[in-house]
Structure 1
Amino acid sequence: MTDMKSSANLVSLYVQDPDTDGHAYGPNSSYVVEELRKIDNDISYLYKMLTVFNLLDTTDVTVQSDHGMMAVPEESIINLGQIVEPKLYHTSGGSVFMHI
């Protein structure tokens, strides 16, 4: 019988990168590539340890992401201040979403 104090039914892990670096430096940046390498190594290590402890056949592992990301070409960026007089509107927010 399994000791319930030393086993788990569900374990979850959240890794904020490469999302944070992708938003800060762009999805094709060297920072994102490096974070992806680290995550790949971590997942490889997880599988190795599951194998070492003979848990691979009894453990389900899912890898998930909250969204994808792609670079926006500079010519696709709209500068609202060049189209509409800035005194005519108020903005809040930034990044991908801006409220006007």
Structure 2
Amino acid sequence: MLERDPREGRTEVTFVLPAVTPTRPVSVVGDFNGWKPGTHELAPRPDGTRAVTVALAAEASHSFRYLAAGDYWFNDDSVESQLDGNSRLTT
């Protein structure tokens, strides 16, 4: 699930996953961080979910996937579209 918070010139996007799906550490990896694993690792929140917030350019499209420990890649089914096997979001 994605949470969006528009700001001047950017959008803060919070990537949210349930605490147990999967149970291993997870990071969001995409064109906004050079597809570098571990740069944006999701952290536990009080409501039982895990999340990380990333500031992205406003009015832009971004490709991303989640990467769990053990080389388990997966997409976000809540996004508007998928492109070339990746989740795609528009800010």
Same fold (TM over 0.5): no
How does the TM-score come out when normalised to structure 2?
Answer: 0.22
Relative to its length, the structure with more helix (as a share) is 1
Larger Rg: 1
Relative to its length, the structure with more strand (as a share) is 2
How does the TM-score come out when normalised to structure 1?
Answer: 0.20
